[in-house]
Chain A
Amino acid sequence: SQQGEEDPQALSIQEGENATMNCSYKTSINNLQWYRQNSGRGLVHLILIRSNEREKHSGRLRVTLDTSKKSSSLLITASRAADTASYFCATDAQIKAAGNKLTFGGGTRVLVKP
């Protein structure tokens, strides 16, 4: 079963605009991770945020985490056509130490138009 719900399911923006997507989850977590997947390909790890962190940056990516609301957001700034992909959040549940199975959301499909 999928733990996370992602919102929106699809997003279409112009190159240069920012893209924001949200993820909600259900259980306590060790960490939350965001992955990108180009059509028909494997997943690429983007960023990991631990449960005791509130915000993380990596290049044009900004991730926030609100454990009280069990939600996270991913912001891609100054989007490029190459950012066109599906984006998934995934949670590492707080059952044992980090490194357990990941539970993925349904993904947000992002289209960046040139």
Chain B
Amino acid sequence: DTGVSQDPRHKITKRGQNVTFRCDPISEHNRLYWYRQTLGQGPEFLTYFQNEAQLEKSRLLSDRFSAERPKGSFSTLEIQRTEQGDSAMYLCASSLALGRGEQFFGPGTRLTVL
């Protein structure tokens, strides 16, 4: 257990539905990252926050995706109008902004879109 938690761990939804995932980072970590991982591949960066500010978004993050970190603590990732191609593991990680750069990952949320 790295101290990063994600909820839910598994989500099955029908195409076209909206889903929201939550990530709680290690409490003193001010940076929070979202990645997506498909089967047999390495994680791909989606977006990251320093405190409540969203500092970078990947081109992978289409208009259907939105992430927030309203109080600089937990974060949510919402996918609207889900598509089958959104099926993946969504991973959250946190780190210290002035640390060496190692990131601590949560267990992930596995999304299946039917």
Which of the listed residues B2, B43, B44 has the most CB atoms from chain A within 10 Å of its own CB? B43
**Separation of A1 and B91 alpha carbons in the complex (Å):** 16
Q: A99-B99, A99-B101 are in contact. Are A42 and B2 (CB under 8 A)?
A: yes
**Separation of A43 and B33 alpha carbons in the complex (Å):** 13
Q: A2-B42, A104-B42, A104-B43 are in contact. Are A33 and B48 (CB under 8 A)?
A: no
Instruction: Give the Cβ gap from A34 to chain B, nearest Cβ, in Å.
Output: 10
Contact with B along A72-111 (1 / 0, CB 8 A): 0000000000000000101010000011111111110000
A22 at the interface (CB under 8 A from B): no
Interface of B is mostly: loop
What residue of chain B has the Cβ atom nearest to residue A4's Cβ? B42
On whether the beta carbons of A31 and B42 are closer than 8 Å, the reply is: no
**Separation of A99 and B104 alpha carbons in the complex (Å):** 12
On whether the beta carbons of B2 and A44 are closer than 8 Å, the reply is: yes
Option from A31, A42, A103 in Cβ contact (under 8 Å) with B91: A42
On whether the beta carbons of B44 and A104 are closer than 8 Å, the reply is: yes
On whether the beta carbons of A101 and B33 are closer than 8 Å, the reply is: yes
**Separation of A4 and B107 alpha carbons in the complex (Å):** 23
Instruction: Give the Cβ gap from B28 to chain A, nearest Cβ, in Å.
Output: 14
B15 at the interface (CB under 8 A from A): no
Instruction: Give the Cβ gap from B75 to chain A, nearest Cβ, in Å.
Output: 15
Instruction: Give the Cβ gap from B70 to chain A, nearest Cβ, in Å.
Output: 21
On whether the beta carbons of B44 and A98 are closer than 8 Å, the reply is: no
Instruction: Give the Cβ gap from A111 to chain B, nearest Cβ, in Å.
Output: 15
Contact with B along A9-44 (1 / 0, CB 8 A): 000000000000000000000110101000011111
A48 at the interface (CB under 8 A from B): yes
B97 at the interface (CB under 8 A from A): yes
On whether the beta carbons of A43 and B91 are closer than 8 Å, the reply is: yes
